[in-house]
Amino acid sequence: MTIVMLMSTDADIVNTQLNAAWNPVTNRYTWAQVNPMNLNIINGATIVVIAHGNGTEIGNAAPGVVDINAETFLALVQGNMANNAVPARIYISSCGPGIAEFAANVRIAAQNNQIWHNTRIFGHSDPVSGPVPPANDIRWTQIF
């Protein structure tokens, strides 16, 4: 099960697609659907997050509308999981540099909150110019 979460309201992010190798995508959620935290995603899902970002936060390109730090990211994703469910993999794709640092901060936040013990977290950044690369692409950095 592959779930896409758009954690930005910027048009370029909203229009970004996944490489065809990701298919089938089970659901694609906008920021307006992600933010209320009531999606009830099943255990073991693969979640692909698309947003603008840097080493400290993801969200919109301009500050002040959607600004998500690692702790908030953890709360948003976990808040959208069904009761006691955890994602198997999280792929965070950003058009800004430093996403590996952000993904590492998410891993630290998960360890501090004693969740996502077996969840693999990956980071990727490229300018918005095409689809999000497939999971097995070398542009993804796994954060242990």
Query: How confident is the model at residue 132, as a pLDDT?
Result: 94
- Report helix, strand or coil for 93: strand
The yes-or-no verdict on residue 96 having pLDDT over 90 is no
CA dihedral of 6, 11, 13, 16, whole degrees rounded to 10: 100
101: pLDDT strictly greater than 80: yes
How large is the average pLDDT for residues 37-45?
97
Domain boundaries, the chain: 2-143
Confidence of residue 97 (pLDDT cuts 50, 70, 90): confident
Whether omega before 24 lies within 30 degrees of 0, making that bond cis, reads yes
> Do the beta carbons of residue 99 and residue 92 sit within 8 Å?
yes
Residue pLDDT, tens place only, 50-77: 999 989 999 999 999 999 999 999 999 9
Q: Determine the pLDDT at residue 41.
A: 98
What percent of the chain stands above pLDDT 90?
A: 85
Residue 126: per-residue pLDDT? 79
Instruction: Write down the mean pLDDT value for the chain.
Output: 94
